[in-house]
Amino acid sequence: MPLCPALFISASASHQGKTTVTAALARHHARRGLKVRVFKTGPDFLDPMILERACGAPVYSLHLSMVGLDACRALLAQAAREADLILIEGVMGLFDGTPSSADLAAAFKVPVLAVIGAHGMAQTFGAIAFGLARYREDVPFHGVLANRVASPRHAQMLSETIPAGLLYCGHLSNADDIALPERHLGLTQPAEVADLDARLDRAADAIAQTSLCDLPPPVQFDDATLPEPPRLLEGVRIAVAHDAAFSFIYPANLDLLTAMGARIERFSPLADEPVPAAADALYLPGGYPELHAATLAGNRRTRASIDAHVEQAKPVVAECGGMLYLVESLTVLDGAQHAMLGILPGAAFMQRKLSRLAMQRIDTAHGAMTGHTFHYSTLDTPLQPVLKAAHATTGAEGEALYRHGPVTATYMHAYWPSNPAATAALFRGASLS
């Protein structure tokens, strides 16, 4: 069984600074020459981009339902065999959600570092720390870190509130200038933060002044592996749109395509690059097409190549933002309407209010596939769904899956390793219903 130092970074709630602290730890130990592997709990595309920049390696998702217990175990075992340090960033507060970050930490016995935003707080800090540490006996607890501390005197007050038996790991200051800018449900993309590496270095410098400068104790992980998937996509060439407009891609999804025998070729619609002519299938992932709608509307080479791909009845898989790119028009928040590709009938509209955020499960002819959804747009289309997903825990009605010619489109971001057979069917143009 592989041993590796590991820490689970969670918090009392969202917006406490979990990603900043995780990135700081990753950059600090990477600068020491250590091999750091970082995971993100649950569905997320934005935080992993920052964390990858901090540690220099792809960031994979861990989630007991979306990814599955066995797959989580195998991912951690592989990291433990290769790395000097494993970091896992939680989601929301430590006990929020079903399953929660606490469930994941308990399942693999990874000690929790609780990050608490201490702005506007004094003695209550100790009560929150005590509650997080003692709420569940099965959750291993490493210690607590104060974030957004106003002054040395404030830091002293916070440290004095920690009950006996709890480890106070130190603090990060408001003056450190390390906070990462946010948009919608998460952070902005790395390319949009001009001084990102400087921020990460400042964060690493700050964490080096705490007790977290040293490696945490080693954790024993099960020596698990997953079976190789069947090579259901042998020789299939898949074009993947990948740029600032289309960037919501799970590394595990592309790993699966490659493991099943597919060849991946990336191209950029934003740069007006055409779909590679030899591509047998096309993947349009989610992202931020609304931020680049005017550019996408005017890029004729990409438009013509996707039109040609569809006319040849080659499969297209479009998720969320990728689906918006295929409809007739996209209206952005300032009211401007931009012509999209018109391959799918209908129009999309951005809004300030969150439309949907949920874990999803869709039952296909090949079995269940897991995933999630989050979007700030609505879709008005005459298309009728061929399948509908359901909320992963409540069973409430979820996202529609549409089929129009060779195009399969949905708001749902599927986690493809949850069902390799259904994934292969998507990229071979077969129906999931």
130 and 23 within one domain: yes
339 and 248 within one domain: yes
- In the prediction, which pLDDT does 167 show? 97
Last residue of a domain, one of 152, 186, 220: 220
Range of the domain at 262: 237-427
Distance CA 44, CA 198 (A): 24
Neighbours of 353 (CB within 10 A): 6
63 and 212 within one domain: yes
Q: Is residue 33 part of a domain?
A: yes
Last residue of a domain, one of 220, 248, 267: 220
- In the prediction, which pLDDT does 176 show? 65
- In the prediction, which pLDDT does 185 show? 45
Tally of domains within the chain:
2
252 and 198 within one domain: no
Distance CA 116, CA 265 (A): 43
Distance CA 284, CA 265 (A): 12
CATH of the domain at 31: 3.40.50.300
For residue 7, give the 3-state DSSP assignment: strand
268 and 164 within one domain: no
323 and 271 within one domain: yes
Q: Has 320 been annotated as catalytic?
A: yes
The first and second tokens of residue 153, run together, are 């005197």
Closest listed residue to residue 255, CA positions, set 85, 29, 61, 20: 61
59 and 153 within one domain: yes
Torsion, Cα of 253, 259, 261, 263 (10° steps):
50
242 and 176 within one domain: no
- In the prediction, which pLDDT does 190 show? 63
Q: Is residue 226 part of a domain?
A: no
- In the prediction, which pLDDT does 136 show? 97
Name the pTM for this structure: 0.95
- N residues, the chain: 433
Q: Is residue 393 part of a domain?
A: yes
CATH of the domain at 332: 3.40.50.880
Closest listed residue to residue 418, CA positions, set 383, 360, 368, 381: 368
Q: Is residue 228 part of a domain?
A: no
The first and second tokens of residue 184, run together, are 């919608």
241 and 213 within one domain: no
Residue reference for tokens 């948009």: 183
Distance CA 293, CA 286 (A): 14
Write out the chain's pLDDT in tens, 433 residues: 899 999 999 999 999 999 999 999 999 999 999 999 999 999 999 999 999 999 999 999 999 999 999 999 999 999 999 999 999 999 999 999 999 999 999 999 999 999 999 999 999 999 999 999 999 999 999 999 999 999 999 999 999 999 999 999 999 998 667 776 654 444 456 666 667 899 999 999 999 999 999 999 999 999 999 889 999 999 999 999 999 999 999 999 999 999 999 999 999 999 999 999 999 999 999 999 999 999 999 999 999 999 999 999 999 999 999 999 999 999 999 999 999 999 999 999 999 999 999 999 999 999 999 999 999 999 999 999 999 999 998 999 999 999 999 999 999 999 999 999 999 999 999 999 9
Report, in angstroms and rounded to the nearest whole number, the Rg of the chain calculated over CA atoms.
22
Distance CA 253, CA 420 (A): 10
293 and 158 within one domain: no
Q: Is residue 90 part of a domain?
A: yes
Q: Is residue 229 part of a domain?
A: no
Q: Is residue 230 part of a domain?
A: no
Last residue of a domain, one of 220, 251, 267: 220
269 and 184 within one domain: no
The first and second tokens of residue 343, run together, are 């391959």
132 φ/ψ angles, rounded to the nearest 5 degrees: -65, -40
Q: How distant is the alpha carbon of residue 46 from its chain centre? A: 6
336 and 394 within one domain: yes
Which of 4, 55, 72, 320 is flagged as catalytic? 320
